[in-house]
Amino acid sequence: MGNYYLAVDIGASSGRHILAELKNGRMELEEVYRFQNGMQERNGALCWDHEYLFREIKNGLKKCKELGKIPQSVSVDTWGVDFVLLDQEDRVLGDTVGYRDSRTQGMTEKVETIISQEELYQRTGVHWQLYNTIYQLEAIKETHPEYLEAAESILMTPDYFHFLLSGEKHMEYTIASTSQLVSAASGDWDWELLDLLGFPKKIFRPVSMPGTVAGHLRKEVQEEVGFDCKVVLPASHDTGSAVLAVPAKGEDVVYISSGTWSLMGVERKEPDCSLESMESDFTNEGGYDHRYRYLRNIMGLWMIQSVKKELTEDLSFGEICALAAKESIASIVDCNDESFMAPKSMTKAVQDYCSRTGQQVPRTTGELAAVIYNSLAKCYADTLAHLEENTGKHYDTVYVVGGGSKAGYLNELTAKYTGRRVSAGPTEATAIGNLAVQMLSDGTFADVDAVRDCIRQSFEIKEW
Ligand code: ADP
Ligand code: LRH
């Protein structure tokens, strides 16, 4: 009988259950279940469907039972910033609105009447993004103050799933840090900031570190899935897990966690909360072992996902890459332009941008994909230049991990635009980082270096 660990990794576009076993010092993975994800309109707002997601989480657990591969522990990671408010009976208050919804429009200005962006950055180290938890809570304060009044707890998305699984409420550090409400210095909630903003402090639980054992599966869940196991908090922000699985040695390493978003940066022992850092759009998110993820959020493959949905649902991503590679269109868009965040049509948003800036307007799927892939690679090169300026270091390799590392054409462009070597893989970095924390938690690995050594030996890494 194997000694299994289970990662439930839910990204914005899909979720998967991945079992891991250590064999002869190598990590062996088996994807046992996969399901779709995405925001849908409900009551006029873009929402996640938590009931569907939790059903799928349990379906994947049942699949482990069917296979006779019972994990000793399970951990869930998800995208950042989103949360639920729970009432006294642990019912969700309001809709489970997602980060692409427009409810945060105008909330920066509201928050700025209370605290300046500069001070916020100095306190939290987290870069301004209109969708951050802070602005979402401000939106609730404005439009549904009754939810905040009735709330007994707030839980970030993976915290909520850990609660549904185990019955225990924890707020895990890496996901908490994406809220822009955690102190960069202390690693706990910035209680003074919560007070200033008028957010009820009593609903925030003290922050728990990744590796904490939350408990075991609740009785009802055990009965439904057919087994019991531990529930462990991983680095439950997906990017936090992915960064842990970057297969590099040493400190001076640039990564891109490439999926729905591209998160490009380095790992650091100290945060940089300076104004220069803020002005160049870098954030300091919390990582495993009190390391900081110093990175920039780049719009990422969301743009390709959207164009695929609109134009060619039946083509694979690989086929779209191949089409793009044949084109010679030179138009470039600024991937982080607001117009690409949640457009009704991504195709039109890209075309409008090109037309507005006097560039050739892409018409075919191949042309659109070529513009997007080239623009992303250009954005990576610009980000690398800023990173090197801010850290005073030179990085000779860009490590791309995540589903997007399968996009060979994009890797090639990244090498071309940055002029650096590109290392691609592992593609399931987020799940691997999630699993690694379970193995760190029970002492299987001694530290992060041991984890990364094992990852380098276990997975195929390609080079450009
Ligand atoms: P998330 O976890 O954010 O949902 P993933 O890490 O699963 O995202 O990455 C999904 C993205 O990876 C897709 O949107 C697609 O652009 C890219 N991708 C996946 N497979 C391939 C492939 N075979 N060729 C090119 N791109 C791919
Ligand atoms: C990527 C991600 C990213 C941001 C965004 C909201 O999946 O977690 O790091 O936080 O989603």
- Extract the runs of DSSP E, i.e. beta strands, from 37-159: 40-42, 45-47, 71-78, 83-86, 153-156
Residue nearest ligand 2's atom 7 by CA: 79
d(CA 371, CA 305): 14
Active site residue 49: no
83 lines ligand 2 (CB under 6 A): no
Mutation pick for ligand 1 pocket among 317, 376, 427 (CB with most ligand atoms within 8 Å)? 317
The rounded mean pLDDT for the chain is: 97
Judge if 19 and 95 occupy the same domain.
yes
Residues with CB under 6 A from ligand 1: 11-14, 259-260, 301, 304-305, 317-318, 321, 402-404, 406-407
> From atom 2 of ligand 1, which residue's Cα is the shortest distance away?
11
- Let me know: does 121 contact 281? Beta carbons within 8 Å: no
Task: Identify any residues that bridge with 262 across adjacent strands, giving them in sequence order.
Answer: 258, 298
Task: Judge contact between 194 and 204, C-beta under 8 A.
Answer: yes
440 lines ligand 2 (CB under 6 A): no
User: Are residues 57 and 194 located together in one domain of the fold?
Assistant: yes
The model scores a pTM over 0.90: yes
pLDDT tens for 413-456 read: 999 999 999 999 999 999 999 999 999 999 999 999 999 999 99
Interface predicted TM-score of the whole assembly (ipTM), two decimals? 0.98
Please tell me the total count of domains within the chain: 2
Q: 256 and 222: one domain?
A: no
Question: What is the whole-number distance in angstroms between the Cα of residue 407 and the centre of ligand 2?
Answer: 19
Of the residues 129, 237, 243, 283, which should be mutated to test ligand 2's pocket, given the most ligand atoms within 8 Å of the CB?
A: 237
**Residue minimizing CA distance to atom 23 of ligand 1:** 318
- Cα 175 to middle of ligand 2, angstroms: 10
Q: Which ligand is nearest to the CA of 325?
A: 1
Please report, for the domain that includes residue 101, its CATH number. Answer: 3.30.420.40
pLDDT digits (tens, 9 = 90+) for 140-188: 999 999 999 999 999 999 999 999 999 999 999 999 999 999 999 999 9
97-263-9-241 Cα dihedral, nearest 10 degrees: -120
Q: What is the pLDDT of residue 104?
A: 98
| Ligand 2 binding pocket includes 317 (Cβ within 6 Å) | no
**Is there a single domain that holds both residue 335 and residue 218?**
no
Tell me: do 175 and 227 sit in the same domain: yes
Which residues form the domain of 305? 248-425
Q: Ligand 1: distance of its center to the CA of 403 in Å?
A: 4
Shared-domain flag, residues 224 and 288: no
Same domain, yes or no: 227 and 374: no
What spacing in Å lies between the alpha carbon of 262 and ligand 2's midpoint? 9
Which whole number is the average pLDDT over 124-131?
96
Determine the distance separating the centroid of ligand 1 and the alpha carbon of 208, expressed in angstroms.
Answer: 30
Secondary structure tally for the chain: helices H, strands E: 18, 19
Whether the pLDDT of residue 322 is over 80: the answer is yes
Q: How confident is the model at residue 1 (pLDDT cuts 50, 70, 90)?
A: low
CA dihedral for 275, 280, 286, 291, sign (positive or negative): negative
The confidence score (pLDDT) of residue 8 equals 99
pLDDT digits (tens, 9 = 90+) for 262-315: 999 999 999 999 999 999 999 999 999 999 999 999 999 999 999 999 998 899
418 and 335 assigned to the same domain: yes
Q: Is residue 231 within 8 Å of 75, Cβ to Cβ?
A: yes
Q: Which one from 77, 95, 238, 272 is the annotated catalytic residue?
A: 238
